[in-house]
Structure 1
Amino acid sequence: MGLTVLSVLSLFLLNITLCCGDAQDAELSLKPNVSHLFAGESVTFICDMREGNAADWLYKFNWNDQEMVHFTKSSSYLLYLTAELSGNYQCIGRHNGLTDFTKQSNNVTLSISALRPTATITADKTTIPVGGSVTLTCSVQGSAGWSFDWFRQIPDSHEVANNTNTSKLQNFISVSDEGIYRCRGRRGNPVFFTDLSKAYHIQKTCEFDNFL
């Protein structure tokens, strides 16, 4: 009998905690975790009620206070982006056992550009020292979270070699061979690519040509 009373008391205290709002607020996060995105990319919204098990809740996702997804068992939502989808996003959780109890998350603001970005390639110096190398850097202006592919075209040839080391995809490479170099950014799953950068020409004379 004592155990039954304790169980009822525990359930009663749990209901008080939920209904009185003592629990932590819900949290909405993004993957990739960036706020400046581009049309053609995708983003996954992840709603965390920050208490209990994920299966204890139903989830709703809103955009600019309009419902995108009605209450569902999934705590995540994958959205393919267009420029028109810029704005504020929020998730709301409803507890399975207490249908009148809901929690609202923080607002997340997304800025979505209509045009595909172009990568930019720069070099740390304009001439190659004898026996040395030049460091090329790739970037995407005004945005973060990118990995990078590197390409080299052999002089007097149409052959293009992909220099990407898929285990790193760094934003810089050290080069000492003649060639025409380009780069591009990538991020997300499925992968979204930027446009290729302008070409950067490295000559064996250890002097850089201007951008092509």
Structure 2
Amino acid sequence: MPEKLCQRNGQDSEPVETTSGSSYKLNQVSVSDRGQYRCRAGRGDPVYYTQYSEPVYILITDQPKAVLSISTQWLNPGDSVNLICEVKEPFTGWRFSWYKTVPYRTELPSLLDKSYSVEPLSGYETTEESYTLSPAGPTDTGGYVCRAGRGAPVYYTDYSEPQYLWSGDLQSSVSLSPNRTQHFTLKSLYLSCDQKGNSTGGRLMRYTETGVESGCSSNWRSITGSTCNITSTSTWDSGVYWCESGSGQSSNAVNITVSVGAVILESPAHPVTEGNSVTLQFPFNQTNMNITAEFYKDGELIYNETTNKIM
């Protein structure tokens, strides 16, 4: 049988003989394997070679990624929310699947890091890049992911990174208790997941631009899995915090901002019921208190005085 050589980008490779002829197999291809391939045959001793075949260029791309975005992360009663799934690849014919995250269980499909399992939404597979929750309500609070597939047999992307949706009027078996949303740097901050009834297994979660974290990070002093005491705050501690019960219920979420500025505005961390009183506190990050405090609503001055409170 003639000897056949495969050449990639001008470099000879070892032939692989099979019952169907000669072949060269690329196992577990990566982007580095892309390039121009050609082959030639040879026989005899000394070897007499044919000319090289016409070249074939093999294009190998990165694993397609699904990216999920949400039209709003903070729900008001009656809102509709659009989940938008994108695949940044030049191919067409994608079908999109939509899921809600649940506590990790071995019998369910799960994210790669096993932080969550996923359950499909009703009518979850569509040719449209968007999925609408209308109207979205407190029970829709939680995490969402998507993925896309094309071809037959279907080739799927990985699940997207989770995106989260929070409702202001949420009634859950677990709640988060900080006393305000804005904080100065270099101060202490205590966060606690409060369990209600028979709820167990609460864990503190944090969401930032870099993703979601479970539990207390390494620079926090953890008391238990559901409470954290940050002894000296920094701007890095800013983010959306919430709790998850063992059954997968989400608590209210608090968008905490840690500031290096001279002043912050203290206000209730949770939604306020109509008819209740609200106190806005105006603390200064300095000892000199002979400063006039000005309060604004939607950009308009509504109150000023030399003290730092308004009822």
Q: TM-score, normalised by structure 1?
A: 0.41
Higher RCO (C-alpha under 8 Å, 6+ residues apart): 1
Q: Which has the larger radius of gyration?
A: 2
Give the helix-richer structure, 1 or 2.
1
